[in-house]
Amino acid sequence: MGTLIESLIAAHIVVGSLFIFVGSLGLVRLPDLMSRLHAQSKATTLGVGGCLVASMIHFGALQGRVSVQEVLIILFLFLTSPVTAHFLSKAYLHTQADPEADLPQAQGDSDWSTFGTYVQGTMRPSKPGIPPSDEGEASA
Amino acid sequence: MIESALTFGLVAVAAALLCNAYRLVLGPTTLDRVLAVDTMVVNAIALILLYGIREGTAMNFESALLLAMFSFISTVAFCRFLLRGDIIE
C-alpha cells in the first residue's frame, strides 16, 4: 500500500476514535440526561462512521474491491441512532421532566403535543381551555 | 503508520468504554443507565472494526451488525416499557 493510502487510513482511524472518546467523555462530564444524549448520539455515530470509512479504504486496497458490509453497518447506525434518541427523550419527558421548570414554553396557546391524549379520534391537549384538534395522533 | 494509529484508536475506544461504565454505575436515573448501555454497544462495534483492521480479516463485521441491531431493539423495548408498562400490546 502506498503511503498516501496508509496516511488516509491512519487519519480516519485517529479522527474517528477521538470523536468516540469525546462523545463518551460527555457522558461523564455533562450535568443532565438531555445534554448527555445530545453529546453521545452525535459524536459517537460520527466517530464510528470515521472508523468504518478507514475499514472500507483498508479492505478496498487489500482486496481490490469495494466491501458492502461496512456500508450496511453505518447505514443501520444512521437510521437507528435518531430513533433511540427520540425514544429516550420521550421517556424522559413523560417520567422525569417537570413541565414548569425544565421545558421551554411552547409557542402559541397550546402545550407540548406529547402530553396530550388521544380520545375518540381527536387530540385533546393537556392544558384546559384549548379546543381539541382534528389530527389523530396517538400520544406514545 | 497504521499500527500506531490502531494502537491509539484502540486505547481511545477503551477509555470511552470506561467512561460509559462510570455512567452505568453512577447514573442517578434508569434512563442514564440505558443510554450508557447503548453507547457501550456502539463503542464495542468500533472496537470490533479496529480489531478487524488489525488482524486483516473482515469476518467479524457480521457480529458488529448483529450487535447494532440488538442494541437498537433492546433500547427501544426498554423505553417503551418505561412509557407504557408493556412492550407488545
Q: What is the DSSP string of B31-85?
A: HHHHHHHHHHHHHHHHHHHHHHHHHT--TTHHHHHHHHHHHHHHHHHHHHHHHHS
Residues of chain A in contact with residue B60, where contact means CB-CB under 8 angstroms, are none
Lowest mean pLDDT among A7-21, A37-51, A104-118: A104-118
Q: What is the mean pLDDT of residues A69-86?
A: 91
pLDDT tens across A100-115, in order?
667 777 676 666 777 7
Q: Which of A9, A24, A80 sits opposite B2 (nearest CB)?
A: A9
Q: Which three cell numbers stand for residue A63?
A: 482486496
Total domains in the fold of chain B: 1
Considering the domain boundaries, does residue B24 fall inside one?
yes
Considering the domain boundaries, does residue A139 fall inside one?
no
**pLDDT confidence of residue B14:** 96
Residues 10-69 of A with CB under 8 A from B: 10-11, 13-14, 16-18, 20-21, 23-25, 27-28, 33, 36-37, 40, 44-45, 47-48, 51-52, 54-55, 58-59, 62, 67, 69
**Ranges under pLDDT 70 in chain B:** none
Q: Which domain holds residue B76?
A: 2-84
Q: Residue B65's domain is classified under what CATH number?
A: 1.10.287
The answer, yes or no, to whether residue A97 has pLDDT greater than 90, is no
Q: What is the mean pLDDT of residues A59-76?
A: 85
Total domains in the fold of chain A: 1
Considering the domain boundaries, does residue B39 fall inside one?
yes
The answer, yes or no, to whether residue A137 has pLDDT greater than 60, is no
Cα A100 to chain centroid distance, Å, stands at 25
- Listed in sequence order, the DSSP H helices in chain A are 3-29, 33-63, 69-95
Considering the domain boundaries, does residue A124 fall inside one?
no
Nearest CA among B8, B65, B57, B67 for reference residue A55? B57
The answer, yes or no, to whether residue A134 has pLDDT greater than 60, is no
Q: How confident is the model at residue A95 (pLDDT cuts 50, 70, 90)?
A: confident
Considering the domain boundaries, does residue B28 fall inside one?
yes
Considering the domain boundaries, does residue B89 fall inside one?
no
pLDDT tens across A17-30, in order?
999 999 999 999 99
**pLDDT confidence of residue A45:** 93
Considering the domain boundaries, does residue A85 fall inside one?
yes
